A and B are shown apart, each in its own frame.
Chain A
Amino acid sequence: MIQTLALIVSSTLVYSGPLIFTALGGVFSERSGIVNVGLEGIMVMGAFGSVIFNLFTADTFGAWTPWLGLLIGGLVGILFSLVHAVATVHLRADHIISGTVLNLVAPSLGVFLTRELFAGKGQTDMIAESFGYANIPLLSQIPVIGNIFFKSTSLPAYVGILSAFVVAFIIYRTAFGLRLRSVGEHPQAADTLGINVYLMRYIGVLLSGFFGGVGGAVLAQSISLNFSVSTIAGQGFMAMAAMIFGKWNPVGAMGAALFFGFAQSLAVVGSQIPLISSIPSVYLQIAPYIITIIVLVSFVGRSQGPAANGTTYVKSK
């Protein structure tokens, strides 16, 4: 029983980790008023960056490689999201079209660069240093609970959970957070008060690039372990759904991401769990998506995002 629970918890965390980080990124962007459908593409580039870094530096950095890979993934995400920021803030592009462009270009760009780096091959080799499973010191010593939650578990997911609380503090308790939210709610008013709307929106989008890139890097270095065109396959959209389900609140988004991770992990570990193993796999595969829709309809309903989300702000003279 404890073993089954531990299996469910650890695989839930493995699948939640990428979603948590990416959903937090979405919160930053949309709180500033920029809709970011491009999280999927940002994850792809983060995954690509981290895998390349991992492959080339694993000898140098050893066990630290995947963690440094997260930073690289985040940096690549920032660079990539810059396109979305310029398009939506300065070029007044439709946010959904611009985000869709990120999603369209990322897999092709990643595979193109992979071909350039690896003599024409469309996917990379497997990375040598991955996140794997780790024990959390002290906490894993707690009887029963330690076994279920903190032994051979996913460390990046715990970092993500902690990050959610940090992000919540930033957004709700700091001057920066207040400015970010005001720009997403009522840019005209914020502008009148002397807040630089364009700058805040750039920061919001670039932070979504960082967190989305980290999310992609977590996924690549703990689940797929290489980069190919299908490494991400929809996780960015799931993260976006988690953000909306969590009502644009970092902790809520993190909770939703944990829930989606749980639903997804069932399709993978279900065969090892009595009772669930008798359900045909197709139902487990479609469950996360169906659940998302049901949740959106029943719990969120007329979910209200930031009031100025998706609008272009044009500073008047």
Chain B
Amino acid sequence: MTQSKWQSLLVPVLSVIVGLLFGAVIMLLFGYNPVDGYQALLEGALGTPFNIGQTLRAATPLIFTGLGFAVAYTAGFFNIGLAGQALFGWLVSVWVGLAMLDSPKWLVLPLAILAGALAGALWAAIPGILKAYFDTSEVIVTIMLNYVAVYIADYLIRNVLTDRADATPFVGANASLRTEWLTELTNGSTMHAGFFLALLFAVIAYIFINRTTFGFELKAVGLNKDAAEYAGMNVKRNIIIAMVISGALAGLGGVMNGLGEFQNIFLTNGVAPAIGFNGMAVALLGLLNPFGVVLAAILFGGLMTGGNIMPLTAGIPSEIVDIVIAAIIFFVGANYIITFFLNRRKVRSAVDNEDVIQQGGQEG
């Protein structure tokens, strides 16, 4: 069994490598030098303390949304609504910060963070409840709720939080996750204390999923709803709770944007925050393991931070990085192609060819 565990670790690693190679091929096809491109990417991501800070800053919300996706997926639930849940977390945390400009930090900051988590949780509860009681496709409902969130957030920003402005004012220092020593350490990057909060939540999520009865129940529901029901578990309740936790984590991802990175919220122009879909990608690449999520989020943070610098230093459009990211996820999803080749090497001398088919076709 250790063999297959080792092998499952190899899938994301090889996916990243193949994804990067794919990106190199595209760069070659369009007449760019991939060596220059990836050098610019690497330097942009890790070259200076400032860039490292920006990379970790970009990873922070992704850890939260990635964990959120992983928790829901454990219960067999595809939470595509991370973006909308994060948007509401972002909005509400900024709102609380702006409403309590004169209160002490020890009160405002925790309150704003909690409020953001709660907003995400409530928004995620809707598809959870609909799934539990009406068996409504969560994929469609969460996607629809993303658009609803976008329009409501824009309306609130324009008409309630401000007087027809495109962005809210900045929150005060009493609601900010930025800390002086982190900013100084990274030569003025926007890295903030939320990163450590994200690591803490990764540990909590790991313990929750792998070491608690409730985590076990979630897994049971995710693997086989009917069997879990038969074993006396409350499937409906578990689905809803999984979604609430997932939404709370996504909401916290939004809080990282609100109180950490941007310190305010602005109009979405119809697009929900990218940390939603990227969080999903991070969770898949991290094999839905909380520690895997942290590593994948840091990788993505690096790709995005470095990717932004590519057009400036190497003249290569940053969209290349998005294509690389999509390719990586593609190979994680189509891991059969990787396991197939790994198995073929192993099985070549063995007798039973049936094994390969059994292992590859586990989806259902």
Contacts and interface: CB of A to CB of B under 8 A. Distances in A.
B59 to A, nearest CB: 18
B147 A93 contact: no
A296 B139 contact: no
A302 B135 contact: yes
Nearest to A86: B334
A178 interface: no
Interface string A103-120: 111011101100110001
Interface in B261-275: 269-271
Interface string B315-345: 0010110110111011011111100000000
Interface in A6-25: none
A296 B323 contact: no
Interface stretch (B87-95, B183-191, B220-228, B355-363): B355-363
Contacts of A96: 78, 139
A47 B80 CA distance: 24
Given A285-B151, A301-B135, A316-B357, A240 B320 contact: no
Given A87-B334, A109-B323, A116 B30 contact: yes
B204 interface: no
Contact of B134 (A237, A285, A286, A297): A297
A83 B326 CA distance: 12
B182 interface: no
Contact of B320 (A91, A112, A301, A311): A112
B277 interface: yes
**How big is chain B's contact interface, by range?**
35 or more
Interface residues of A, number: 49
B334 A230 contact: no
Interface string A178-190: 0000000000000
A107 B271 CA distance: 12
Given A104-B277, A112-B317, A293-B145, A87 B130 contact: no
A108 B284 CA distance: 20
Interface string A243-264: 0100000000000000000000
A316 B357 CA distance: 8
Interface of A: 37, 83, 87, 91-94, 96-98, 100-101, 103-105, 107-109, 111-112, 115-116, 120, 230, 233-234, 237, 240-241, 244, 280, 282, 285-286, 289-290, 292-293, 296-297, 300-303, 311-312, 314, 316-317
11 contacts: A93-B334, A93-B335, A96-B78, A101-B330, A105-B322, A115-B317, A241-B143, A286-B147, A302-B134, A312-B364, A314-B357
Given A97-B329, A100-B281, A289-B147, 13 more contacts: A92-B360, A93-B334, A93-B335, A101-B330, A107-B322, A108-B326, A115-B319, A116-B317, A230-B269, A241-B140, A293-B141, A302-B135, A312-B364
